[in-house]
Structure 1
Amino acid sequence: MEKFPRPVLLVSRCLEFDKVRFNGQKVSSPIVRDLMQFADVKTVCPEVEIGLGVPRAPLRIIRKNDEYRLVQPDTGLDLTEKMNKFADNFLDGLGKVDGFIFKGLSPSMGLGNVKVYARDAMSPVVERSAGFFAGHVINRYLGYPMEESERLLNPRIRHHFLTSLYAFADFRQMRANASIGSLLDFNEENRFLFMSCNPAVFDKMSGLLADAENTGQVFEEYMSLLKEILRKPGSDVLKIETARKMFLMFADKDNKETSFFEEMLGRYAENRISWDAIIEVLRMISFRFLDEDSYKDRFLYPYPEELKAPADENRDKDYWDNEWNQR
């Protein structure tokens, strides 16, 4: 079975950990709960760290003379400088990290849909932006896997986030060896995954390794391409084409199994079966044609199975337990 690294993850402290929200509550996050046993989680609540209590009066971002300020309307406090200083100091000492999960809409931690007001009270929303702390994270770690907890309730967003998170963790762990050989192995083990995201960028990655001379420079350039290729998932057309290429590595072009798999790809294209069905067939056929250590591509095993979203959260619900159905 595949072995996975332990990603290092920075998470909003209010997500499953402590009651540090402005209203004295913590927030449920299924993916954070799931990741606790598989990742090394670091937490932060910037608002508490700069000295605000729990519970506390809400903060808001205002735009004043084209400058953004973080204020607490009920007290009249302007916390802009204090928050900026904390964010810089915290991130300076953060150390290794592979990804981020933050609380959406928070004026400190939201990643992109935070309300910005014209004034500190009784004023309209003039735009949407990142929270103050999250803005520092985006500037320093642009391209790293980062999401808001609310968005991660969507299975497709969750899948892409976890795929990217484990790819970054794999890369960080591999980079500790600092050898071109280990980078070549990494590139090969992600070949089909990267092809399914962006074949043109994958060609650049492979070309970079073919001409590799300066190890340090190659790792930096490769990391930039890794950020680019995992920025968003590939299209369904790319996924189907990649699945077809992988299948044909194992099976003959002209047999009943190949015809059946092509029909499956057609049903997936028509949204009649799930992508998981395609992956399970590829996993099964890889077992038949390769030994256990040969099917390492992250296209098939991007992250631990235990982290997959439930296939049907209501599977055990009894829809027939009602009065009229008992007659």
Structure 2
Amino acid sequence: MRNFTRPIVLVSRCLEFDNVRYDGKVVPCRIVRDLVPLVDFIKVCPEYEIGLGVPRDPIRIVKQKGDYKLIQPKTGEDVTEKMDTFTKDFMKDLADVDGFIFKSRSPTIGVRDIKVYSGAKASPVIEKGMGFFASEIFEKYHGYPIEEDDRLRNYHIRHHFLTQLYTFADFRAHCGSASIDKLEEFNEKNRFLFTYYDASVYGQMCELLKSCDSAISPEEVESTVFKSYASLLKQVLSKPGDVDSKVSVSRQIFSNFKHLVPESEHIFFEQLIENFSLNRITDDALIEVLRLYVLRFDEDNIDNYTLLYPYPEILRISGDEKRDKDYWDNGE
């Protein structure tokens, strides 16, 4: 199996860790629980950090005369300035980070569809946006894997998030030396993954590296090439490819071994591709067959197949949660 860099993740403290939610509870979160032995977590709860206490009266985002405020309706307290100060100080001290898992529906750390009210009390929702703290994170780390606990229950969102997370962590590890060779190594090992996600952007990444003079200094790599490549990395990983992209890349991988197998396997593989295209088999079934070919013919270079091994196996979730259910139990 391939080697993985240990990611660094900023996480809401109330997710599996501490009793800092407004009602004093810890929120169960499967992906955080799964990641505990495999990542380094940086924990934060903006509301707790500014001294609101636990338990506490809820706060809300209020928009009045074009200004956004954080108000505690029961007390009428305006904590906007405290939150802004904490957020700026926190971000100033935030070191390397590869991804973010935040609590959904939070007025401070929620990422999507956070309610904005017209007033502190008995007032309607007038729009939806991001939490105060999350919006600052999103602006600085736009393009990084940033998700909420609720959305990460979905298999496809979880898979995409973990793929992004481990790729960003690996990028950090490869590029710490500001070396063109390291960038080229990273770019090549992710060839199939990036081609699947967005072949056009991957082409731009390759062209960027080809244009580099071999005599370029480490300072120039860090100030220009590294930043340009990092920007393209965010673009290429912004959204997974479609079925046609997966089919195309799968054929590319198989073509490396086509001359090593009999004609009957060529036919089998094309039938496999057709079944996948018609949604008769899952993505996982196709991936497992491709993994077998890699293990048979190119095991020494397994690190170059990040599309097939995007994150540690232990993070894969059950393919069929009800597999062991006895559908034939007559109830006796």
Give the equivalent residue in structure 1 for 2:172. Answer: 172
Which amino acid counterpart does residue 104 of structure 1 have in structure 2?
S
* Residue deviations 1:77-116 (CA, integer Å, cap 9, x gap): 1111110110110111110100000001100111021011
User: Could you tell me how far apart the structure 2 residues matched to 1:173 and 1:287 are?
Assistant: 25
Give the equivalent residue in structure 1 for 2:251. Answer: 244
1:290 to 298, 314, 319: 298
Which amino acid counterpart does residue 215 of structure 1 have in structure 2?
V
User: Could you tell me how far apart the structure 2 residues matched to 1:59 and 1:203 are?
Assistant: 47
Q: Which consecutive residues of structure 1, in runs of 5 or more, have no partner in the other structure?
A: none
Which amino acid counterpart does residue 222 of structure 1 have in structure 2?
Y
Give the equivalent residue in structure 1 for 2:194. Answer: 194
* Residue deviations 1:53-99 (CA, integer Å, cap 9, x gap): 11111111111111111110001011111101101101111101000
Which amino acid counterpart does residue 87 of structure 1 have in structure 2?
T
Sequence identity of aligned pairs in percent? Answer: 49
Give the equivalent residue in structure 2 for 1:21. Answer: 21
User: Could you tell me how far apart the structure 2 residues matched to 1:12 and 1:308 are?
Assistant: 22
User: Could you tell me how far apart the structure 2 residues matched to 1:223 and 1:287 are?
Assistant: 31
- 1:286–1:295 contact (8 Å) kept in structure 2: no
- 1:188–1:297 contact (8 Å) kept in structure 2: no
User: Could you tell me how far apart the structure 2 residues matched to 1:109 and 1:317 are?
Assistant: 38
Give 3-state SS (helix, strand or coil) of 1:177's partner.
Answer: coil
1:82 aligned onto 2:82? yes
User: Could you tell me how far apart the structure 2 residues matched to 1:295 and 1:139 are?
Assistant: 32
Matches within 5 A, 1:226-265: 226-252=233-259, 255-265=263-273
2:316 to 308, 312, 324: 308
Change (3 A) 1:251 1:215: same
Which amino acid counterpart does residue 12 of structure 1 have in structure 2?
S
Change (3 A) 1:295 1:168: closer
User: Could you tell me how far apart the structure 1 residues matched to 2:123 and 2:302 are?
Assistant: 61
- Over the aligned positions, Cα root-mean-square deviation in angstroms equals 1.4
1:280 aligned onto 2:288? yes
User: Could you tell me how far apart the structure 2 residues matched to 1:84 and 1:177 are?
Assistant: 34
Give the equivalent residue in structure 1 for 2:229. Answer: 222
- 1:60–1:120 contact (8 Å) kept in structure 2: yes
Give the equivalent residue in structure 1 for 2:184. Answer: 184
Shifted more, 163-172 versus 241-250: the winner is: 241-250
Alignment TM-score, normalising by the size of structure 1: 0.96
Give 3-state SS (helix, strand or coil) of 1:14's partner.
Answer: coil
User: Could you tell me how far apart the structure 2 residues matched to 1:86 and 1:244 are?
Assistant: 51
Matches within 5 A, 1:83-162: 83-162=83-162
Shifted more, 250-259 versus 262-271: the winner is: 250-259
User: Could you tell me how far apart the structure 2 residues matched to 1:17 and 1:71 are?
Assistant: 26
- 1:179–1:215 contact (8 Å) kept in structure 2: yes
* Residue deviations 1:128-153 (CA, integer Å, cap 9, x gap): 10001101101111111110011000
> May I ask how many residue pairs the two structures share in their alignment?
324
| TM-aligned CA deviation for residue 291 of structure 1 | 3.8
1:211 aligned onto 2:218? no
| TM-aligned CA deviation for residue 263 of structure 1 | 1.5
Which amino acid counterpart does residue 107 of structure 1 have in structure 2?
P
User: Could you tell me how far apart the structure 2 residues matched to 1:110 and 1:294 are?
Assistant: 38
User: Could you tell me how far apart the structure 2 residues matched to 1:37 and 1:17 are?
Assistant: 13
Shifted more, 311-320 versus 113-122: the winner is: 311-320
Give the equivalent residue in structure 1 for 2:217. Answer: none
Alignment TM-score, normalising by the size of structure 2: 0.95
Which amino acid counterpart does residue 93 of structure 1 have in structure 2?
D
- 1:6–1:38 contact (8 Å) kept in structure 2: yes
| TM-aligned CA deviation for residue 258 of structure 1 | 1.9
- 1:114–1:128 contact (8 Å) kept in structure 2: yes
| TM-aligned CA deviation for residue 254 of structure 1 | 8.0
- 1:9–1:98 contact (8 Å) kept in structure 2: yes
| TM-aligned CA deviation for residue 296 of structure 1 | 2.3
Matches within 5 A, 1:51-90: 51-90=51-90
Change (3 A) 1:35 1:294: closer
User: Could you tell me how far apart the structure 2 residues matched to 1:185 and 1:29 are?
Assistant: 35
- 1:114–1:130 contact (8 Å) kept in structure 2: yes
| TM-aligned CA deviation for residue 236 of structure 1 | 1.5
Q: Which consecutive residues of structure 2, in runs of 5 or more, have no partner in the other structure?
A: 214-219
| TM-aligned CA deviation for residue 270 of structure 1 | 1.9
Give 3-state SS (helix, strand or coil) of 1:257's partner.
Answer: helix
| TM-aligned CA deviation for residue 121 of structure 1 | 1.3
